[in-house]
Amino acid sequence: MSPRERRAVLWGAALVAGALLLRGVPWAAREANAAREGLAERTVTLRRTRALVRGVPATRESLATALAGVVALAPALVEGGTQAEAAAALAAAVSLAAGQAALRVVRLDPATDSAPGPIRPVTLRGELQGDIAGLTAFLRAVETGRPLLTVGTFAVTAPDPVPRAGSPEQLRIELEVTGWFLPRGVP
C-alpha cells in the first residue's frame, strides 16, 4: 500500500470513528443517566420495603385497634344492610323521636347518598309540625340517642306568628337527618 492510500485509509477510519463518537457519546450518556435514575428508584423502593417490613407488627396492632373501633361503633349505626333498609330504619327512628317529642310527621323522604366506603351515610329530608318544646326535645333525642344521627340542616317557620291566647305556637320544621349504616358484604 502506498503512503497516499494509507493516508486515505487513516483519514477514512478517523472520520468513521468520529461519526461513531458523535452518535455514540450522547447515546451512552442517556443510557448512563437512565441507569442512574433506575438505580435511585430501586434504592427508594428498597428503603420503603424495608420500612414496611419493620412496621408490620405496628400495622397489625393498628389494624386490630381499627377493627375494635368499628365493632364499638356498631351500636351507633342505623340497622339495615341496604340503602333502602337503612332509610326505612332511619325513618322509624325519626318518627319515634318525633312522636315522643309530640311533633307530627308531615313527610319523610329518603335522599340519595352515594358516598363510597365501608360505612355509608343514609339521609332523610322531612317536615314536622309542633311547638318549640317539642322541637327542643326532638333535637335532643336525635342528636344524643342511639343510633347516632345528625341533623344537618333545618329551618323553622311559624305560619301563624301570633298564636291564640293559651294555645301553643305551631311551627313548621324542615330538616335533614343523616345516619350511617354498614352495607351487606362489607367485612
pTM for this one? 0.60
| CA-to-CA dists, residue 101 to 14, 18, 78, 133, 136, angstroms | 101, 95, 20, 8, 8
- The pLDDT of residue 59 is 67
- Whether residue 107 has pLDDT greater than 80: yes
Sorting pLDDT into bands at 50, 70 and 90, what band is 91? very high
> Quick check: 17 and 25 in contact, CB under 8 A?
no
Closest of 80, 67, 66 to residue 120, by C-alpha: 80
Is the pLDDT at 63 greater than 80? The verdict is: no
Indicate if the pLDDT at residue 186 is higher than 80: no
- Span 122-142, mean pLDDT? 91
| 150-157 and 120-130 strand pairing | unpaired
The string of pLDDT tens digits covering residues 48-59 is 887 877 766 766
pLDDT of residue 161: 67
Indicate the average pLDDT of the chain. Answer: 83
